[in-house]
């Protein structure tokens, strides 16, 4: 089947892209330790996937405090910057384009992952259900410490510095991670934000930190090299919001003055049901490109773009097992199956050894 719309050229901010198949951010927990440093194996992995219209990297911590999973990379040290240069050089050498996703996990961490074994931080002292993935194994989430008002401006500056570091590392732009139950999402949603100061309560207050971070990051990059990821109906990491349409419609309207390259929307996470939410309203309200994400196939992605429900579609899990996913979709080829046992941590197995279509067709 030919997906003419999915494989049409398009503009995304300052980039001209050859098609509309985006690689979504995928945590794989394979950075070099100690130091959370990207390495040659990571460069090989991303280089294999350079045929994506745009690669959005795995979530990358903006500071040591922002870390929430074992073996994930950072962008706050000189060694990490040098490590990411290997990745960007490889992707650009293959003709690809790559954005770095900026991440602070907030409460989705554990004291064993934090500097000086401090408690994780959050808008309010409300624990998530579940466990943290640590070097010591899976550990129950702890009740986080509520951030003091005077700590928020320094966190904004961590985002600013991380954006500068990403530029130094050779990225084409950055994505602000405000989805999936991490720090910025925790401020947005009333299930995790019970503050009574200027960052809690009203919708205006709850979007404030996201807007301040966006201001800082766009001052470094310009809006046309910055995207933002949101998950209005996401319940991952114990997230709840009583009025998601109100909150996220307002957020999108407030983001428009920054002239961002794109809005990356997690419309569905996993196989769970999608709550009643008007995603088309976000697309209508936003003045940049709309990247849809969540369980799409080649057929549904092409249909979404044809129907003008989205401009691009981001694929997650299929990209793990299919380094040449755009070619496979365009040719209607079978997709490799993901090995669930090698998703997080480990070595090349289940990371860089999935065959391309060309390799799969080669005689043994």
C-alpha span between 194 and 146 (Å, rounded) = 10
In angstroms, the CA 137 to CA 157 distance is 32
> Residues 274, 253: contact at Cβ < 8 Å?
no
Count other Cβ atoms within 10 Å, centred on residue 209.
Answer: 25
The Cα 133–Cα 109 span in angstroms is 8
Neighbouring C-alpha atoms within 13 Å toward the C-beta of 285? 18
Distance from chain centroid for Cα 306: 25
Peptide bond into 34 cis (omega under 30): yes
State residue 46 phi and psi, 5-degree precision.
-70, -35
Query: Considering 45, 46, 69, 182, which one is annotated as catalytic?
Result: 182
Alpha-carbon distances of 105 from 21, 108, 255, 297, rounded to whole Å? 27, 5, 21, 29
Do 291 and 262 form a contact (C-beta atoms < 8 A)?
Answer: yes
Our measurement of the distance from residue 241's CA atom to the centroid of its chain's CA atoms, rounded to an integer in Å, reads 20
Active site annotation includes 182: yes
C-alpha distances out from residue 39 to 101, 161, 311, Å: 17, 21, 33
Residues assigned a catalytic role: 182
């Amino acid at each position: 089947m030919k997906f003419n719309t999915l494989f049409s050229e398009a503009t995304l901010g300052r980039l001209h892209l050859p098609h509309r198949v985006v690689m979504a951010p995928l945590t794989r927990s394979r950075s070099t330790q100690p130091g959370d440093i990207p390495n040659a194996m990571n460069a090989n992995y991303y280089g294999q996937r350079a045929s994506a219209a745009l690669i959005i990297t795995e979530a990358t911590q903006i500071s040591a405090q922002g870390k929430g999973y074992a073996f994930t990379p950072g962008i706050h040290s000189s060694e990490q910057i040098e490590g990411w240069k290997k990745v960007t050089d490889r992707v650009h050498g293959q003709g690809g384009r790559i954005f770095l996703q900026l991440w602070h996990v907030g409460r989705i961490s554990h004291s064993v992952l934090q500097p000086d074994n401090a408690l994780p931080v959050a808008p309010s002292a409300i624990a998530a259900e579940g466990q943290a993935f640590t070097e010591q194994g899976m550990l129950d989430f702890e009740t986080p410490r509520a951030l003091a008002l005077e700590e928020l401006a320094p966190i904004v500056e961590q985002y600013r510095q991380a954006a500068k570091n990403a530029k130094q590392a050779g990225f084409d732009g950055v994505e602000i991670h405000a989805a999936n139950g991490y720090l910025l999402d925790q401020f947005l949603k009333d299930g995790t934000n019970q503050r009574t100061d200027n960052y809690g309560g009203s919708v205006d207050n709850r979007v404030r930190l996201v807007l301040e971070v966006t201001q800082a990051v766009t001052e470094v990059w310009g809006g046309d090299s910055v995207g933002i990821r949101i998950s209005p109906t996401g319940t991952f990491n114990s997230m709840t919001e009583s009025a998601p349409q109100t909150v996220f419609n307002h957020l999108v309207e407030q983001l428009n003055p920054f002239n961002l390259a794109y809005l990356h929307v997690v419309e569905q996470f996993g196989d769970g049901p999608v709550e009643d939410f008007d995603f088309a309203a976000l697309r209508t309200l936003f003045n940049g490109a709309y990247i849809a994400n969540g369980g799409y196939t080649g057929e549904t992605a092409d249909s979404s773009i044809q129907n003008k429900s989205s401009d691009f579609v981001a694929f997650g899990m299929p990209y793990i097992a299919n380094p040449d996913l755009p070619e496979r979709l365009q040719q209607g080829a079978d997709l490799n199956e993901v090995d669930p046992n090698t998703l997080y941590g480990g070595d090349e197995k289940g990371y860089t050894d999935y065959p391309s279509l060309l390799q799969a067709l080669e005689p043994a």
